[in-house]
Amino acid sequence: MSLELVSGTKSFDGLQQQYRHWSKVLSCPMQFSIFLPQTADREPGHRYPVLYWLSGLTCTDENFSQKAGAQRMAAELGIVLVMPDTSPRGMDVADDPADDLGQGAGFYVNATQTPWKQHFQMYDYIVEELPLLIEANFPINQRRAISGHSMGGHGALMIGLRNPERYTSISAFSPICNPMACPWGEKALSAYLGADTTRWEEYDATVLVGRATLHRPLFISQGEEDEFLKQQLRPEALQMAADACGYPIRLERHTGYDHSYYFIASFIEAHLRFHADFLLRNRLESTLVHFTPDLLKPW
Q: What is the amino acid identity at position 120?
A: F
Rounded Cα distance between 77 and 254, Å, is 25
Give the chain's end-to-end CA distance (angstroms, integer): 38
Q: Residue 71: which H helix or E strand, with range? A: helix 71-77
259 is catalytic: yes
Between the alpha carbon of residue 295 and those of residues 208, 248, 269, 298, the distances in Å are: 22, 10, 19, 7
Given the residues 150, 169, 174, 221, select the one marked as catalytic. Answer: 150
User: Is 214:289 a contact under the CB 8 Å cutoff?
Assistant: yes
Q: Which of 113, 115, 92, 262 is nearest to 199 (CA)?
A: 113
Quickly count helices (H) and strands (E) in the chain. 10, 9
150 is catalytic: yes
Given the residues 119, 149, 215, 259, select the one marked as catalytic. Answer: 259
11 is catalytic: no
Given the residues 23, 226, 271, 275, select the one marked as catalytic. Answer: 226
Between the alpha carbon of residue 160 and those of residues 95, 142, 168, 215, 226, the distances in Å are: 27, 15, 9, 10, 24
Residues tagged active-site: 150, 226, 259
